[in-house]
Amino acid sequence: MSCPCGNTAELADCCEPYVKGERPAPTAEALMRSRYSSYSMEAVEYIAESHLPETRDEVDQEAAKQWAEQAEWLGLEIVDTVDGQEGDSEGIVEFRAKFKLQGVEQLHHERSSFKKIEDKWYYVDGEMVKPKPVVREGAKVGRNEPCPCGSGKKYKRCCG
């Protein structure tokens, strides 16, 4: 079975050893991918275990379990990484996780912070990334100008 995190490797050679605690994730991105995979595998204990130790009590494991069980996990896209490599002590990973819940496809877009303590990466916190506002391209049409649809009417009497 290929790994749910989107890498081409098999689950057993990718995220599963991290989720099962056989070895620590070597980078912040690897930890992020394994956290996503743990939801797909319904192994939510790993979500709490991979949290920064002083924030573990903030993890609602029951809610995480329900989300993992009820969602159909559709894919993970890593948008950006800042630091978080093997030689770093901190890192940021921006990702998009696609899932379907009650038949509705949804997107979780987050920018997450990670910290390395004693050669082990931990999730610190995350901030939701809001969609960018739609910006009009081209000149704004004035109310009294001809309508761009070609009707010959003033914009305010046609499409405005």
Per-residue pLDDT band at 119 (split at 50, 70, 90) = very high
Spatial distance between the Cα atoms of 89 and 74, rounded to a whole number of angstroms: 31
**Ranges of each domain in the chain:** 11-132
Please give the CATH number for the structural domain made up of 11-132.
3.10.450.50
| pLDDT for residue 152 | 86
Beta-strand ranges (E) seen in 62-103 are 71-83, 90-101
Mean pLDDT, all residues of the chain: 93
Look-up: residue for tokens 């948008």? 79
Look-up: residue for tokens 């009417």? 153
Mean pLDDT of 5-32: 96
- Interior/surface letters 2-25, b for 16+ CB within 10 angstroms, e for the rest: ebbbebeeebeebbbebbeeeebb
Let me know if 139 is exposed, middle or buried by CB neighbors in 10 A (0-12, 13-18, 19+).
exposed
The pLDDT tens digits of the residues spanning 37-62 come to 999 999 999 999 999 999 999 999 99
| pLDDT for residue 49 | 96
What is the value of pTM for the model shown? Answer: 0.81
Look-up: residue for tokens 């969602």? 71
